Amino acid sequence: MNPKSSTRRILTMITAASLVAGIFAVAEPALAAVDHYDVQVDGLACPFCAYGLEKKLKKLPGAANVKIELNTGWASFDVSSGVLLPEAVQDAVRDAGFTPRDIKVTASGTVQGDGDELRLGVGSDQTLTLRGGEAFDKLRGLVKKGHRDVVVTGLIRRVDDTWQLAVASAEQR
């Protein structure tokens, strides 16, 4: 067997496999990312409390720019990389000895669905269902016009097995 022929055959097979893998990667739905969290926390009473919470939040994967507002009871931080789900945020607040209340998020990604059934896929098995809120009609309008790549902000709540986000603002990304 000719060595050049064998090398060409191997290169052809590698190229074909790469093309097929690329097609499947493009066909996979885009995942959303929660880019920012604001968490209302009960029990923050002193600077030492705020420091303890700040330390716990900074340990979360991708957490950056952690800020604790002692006067208002809000903790906020950006998520610089990866997927950080609300459960992990709630757990970190509880582990610091406090009670998480309202959670506001800013999430970006590609909207899936139509009409009243809009959602963003987060992680491999989680979905943010987008429901109601003052900007839900604006979001539906963006989707109807074909603008599915969006940034949404709103309060997030756990309902049954799904995280639901009440859309307070929606913008095309």
Q: Do 91 and 18 reside in the same domain of the chain?
A: no
Write out the residue range of the structural domain in which residue 67 sits: 33-172
Q: Do 39 and 66 reside in the same domain of the chain?
A: yes
Q: Do 24 and 38 reside in the same domain of the chain?
A: no
> Looking at residue 43, which CATH number applies to its domain?
3.30.70.100
Give CA–CA dist 44/81, Å, rounded: 28
Q: Do 8 and 73 reside in the same domain of the chain?
A: no
Instruction: Look at the chain and report how many structural domains it folds into.
Output: 2
**Model pTM?**
0.78
Q: Do 58 and 10 reside in the same domain of the chain?
A: no
Q: Do 76 and 16 reside in the same domain of the chain?
A: no
List, for residues 18-27, the tens digit of each pLDDT value: 444 443 333 3
DSSP string, the chain: --HHHHHHHHHHHHHHHHHHHHHHHHHSPPPBEEEEEEEEEET--SHHHHHHHHHHHHTSTTEEEEEEETTTTEEEEEE-SS---HHHHHHHHHHTT-EEEEEEEEEEEE-BS-TT-EEEEETTTEEEEE--STTHHHHHHHHHTT--EEEEEEEEEEETTEEEEEEEEEEE-
pLDDT for res 163? 87
Q: Do 59 and 139 reside in the same domain of the chain?
A: yes
pLDDT for res 2? 59
Contacts of 47 (CB under 8 A, 6+ apart): 70
Contacts of 131 (CB under 8 A, 6+ apart): 116, 164, 165, 166, 167
Q: Do 15 and 59 reside in the same domain of the chain?
A: no
| Residue recorded with tokens 């716990």 | 56
Q: Do 75 and 143 reside in the same domain of the chain?
A: yes
pLDDT for res 139? 94
Give CA–CA dist 146/150, Å, rounded: 11
pLDDT for res 36? 95
Q: Do 130 and 163 reside in the same domain of the chain?
A: yes
Contacts of 73 (CB under 8 A, 6+ apart): 40, 41, 42, 44
pLDDT for res 83? 76
Q: Do 12 and 76 reside in the same domain of the chain?
A: no
List, for residues 35-55, the tens digit of each pLDDT value: 999 999 999 999 999 999 999
Give CA–CA dist 35/115, Å, rounded: 25
List, for residues 107-145, the tens digit of each pLDDT value: 988 899 988 889 987 666 677 899 888 899 999 999 999
Q: Do 143 and 112 reside in the same domain of the chain?
A: yes
